[in-house]
C-alpha cells in the first residue's frame, strides 16, 4: 500500500498514534530483553525468537511486564549486581509466565524470577514453585495470597514454619475474588488442596471454608515476593534452630 493510500484509509488520523505506541512497545521489549540477557545469556536468543513469532505479541507483552517487574525487585532488594538465573528457570518463566495476563499472577512470576537470581546462577529451587504457579488460576492465586497474608504464622518447637487454621465465609470469599458461583469456588479450593497449597476447603454442612495455607504455600508466597532468605525471617518470626 502506498503512502497516499495509507493516509486515505486513516479517516480518524490514528496512524501516528499507532506508530508511537509501536515505538514505545519496541523500547519496552528491548529493555526486557537486555535484562533477560544480563541474568541469563541463553535466554536472550529464546526471547528474540519469541518476539519474532507472529502470534506472540500478546505473550511478548506479558513476559516484558514480568521481566520489568523482576528487574525492579532485584534493583531494590539486592546490592549484588552480577546475579544470574539458571536457564531452566528463565525458560520456564518465558514459556509459562508469558501466558499470564493477570497483574497479580504476573507479580508472582516476577517475584519467582527475581528470587531465582544468585551469584553462580545454579540454584533450581524455584522450579518447584514455578510448576505450581503454572497450574493455578488467577482466582486461586488471589485466594492463596490472601491465605498467606491473613493467616497467623508460627514456628513449631522443631523449627518448622506453619500457619494457624484460617476460615472464610462464602460471602467474604465471593467478594475477595469477585465471583458468585459457589460451585466454581468449591472447585478452585479443591484444586489448591490437591496441589498441597491449602488445607481443607468447604465444609459440606455449611458455607464456611477452611483455607489454611500449608508450609509449602508459605514458602512459595515468600519466593513470589522476590525474597531469597528464610521464610521464617520474612514473616518476622524467630528461628528455633
Q: Do you know the residue count of the chain? A: 241
At residue 47, the pLDDT reads 59
Residue ranges covered by each domain of the chain: 15-133, 138-234
C-alpha grid cell for residue 59? 505473550
- Fold classification of 138-234 (topology level): Arc Repressor Mutant, subunit A (1.10.10)
At residue 17, the pLDDT reads 36
Give the chain's mean pLDDT: 84
For residue 208, give the 3-state DSSP assignment.
strand
Q: Over its length of 241 residues, how does the chain's per-residue pLDDT go in tens digits?
A: 444 444 444 443 434 433 443 444 455 566 666 777 676 766 666 655 555 554 457 788 899 999 999 999 998 876 677 899 999 999 999 899 998 999 999 999 999 999 999 999 999 999 999 999 999 999 999 999 999 999 999 999 999 999 999 999 999 999 999 999 999 999 999 999 999 999 999 989 999 999 999 999 999 999 999 999 999 999 999 887 6
C-alpha grid cell for residue 11? 479517516
Q: Are 110 and 94 in contact (CB under 8 A)?
A: no
In the 3-class helix/strand/coil scheme, how is 172-185 assigned residue by residue?
HHHHHHCCCCHHHH
Q: Are 26 and 70 in contact (CB under 8 A)?
A: no
At residue 240, the pLDDT reads 72
pLDDT digits (tens, 9 = 90+) for 31-65: 666 777 676 766 666 655 555 554 457 788 899 99
Residue 126 CB-half CA count within 13 A: 35
Amino acid at each position: 500500500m502506498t503512502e497516499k493510500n495509507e493516509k486515505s484509509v486513516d479517516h480518524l488520523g490514528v496512524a501516528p498514534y499507532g506508530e508511537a505506541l509501536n515505538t514505545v512497545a519496541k523500547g519496552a521489549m528491548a529493555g526486557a530483553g537486555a535484562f533477560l540477557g544480563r541474568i541469563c545469556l541463553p535466554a536472550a536468543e529464546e526471547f528474540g525468537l519469541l518476539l519474532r513469532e507472529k502470534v506472540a505479541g500478546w505473550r511478548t507483552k506479558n513476559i516484558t511486564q514480568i521481566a520489568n517487574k523482576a528487574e525492579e525487585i532485584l534493583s531494590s532488594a539486592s546490592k549484588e549486581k552480577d546475579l544470574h538465573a539458571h536457564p531452566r528457570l528463565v525458560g520456564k518463566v518465558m514459556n509459562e509466565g508469558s501466558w499470564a495476563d493477570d497483574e497479580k499472577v504476573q507479580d508472582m512470576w516476577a517475584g519467582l524470577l527475581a528470587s531465582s537470581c544468585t551469584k553462580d546462577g545454579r540454584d533450581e529451587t524455584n522450579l518447584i514453585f514455578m510448576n505450581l504457579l503454572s497450574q493455578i488460576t488467577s482466582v486461586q492465586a488471589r485466594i492463596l495470597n490472601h491465605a498467606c497474608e491473613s493467616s497467623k504464622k508460627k514456628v513449631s518447637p522443631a523449627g518448622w514454619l506453619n500457619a494457624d487454621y484460617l476460615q472464610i465465609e462464602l460471602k467474604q470469599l465471593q467478594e475477595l475474588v469477585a465471583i458468585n458461583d459457589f460451585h466454581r469456588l468449591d472447585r478452585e479450593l479443591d484444586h489448591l488442596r490437591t496441589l498441597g497449597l491449602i488445607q481443607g476447603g468447604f465444609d459440606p454442612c455449611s458455607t464456611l471454608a477452611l483455607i489454611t495455607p500449608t508450609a509449602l504455600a508459605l514458602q512459595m508466597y515468600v519466593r513470589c515476593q522476590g525474597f531469597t532468605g528464610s521464610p521464617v525471617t520474612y514473616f518476622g518470626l524467630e528461628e528455633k534452630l
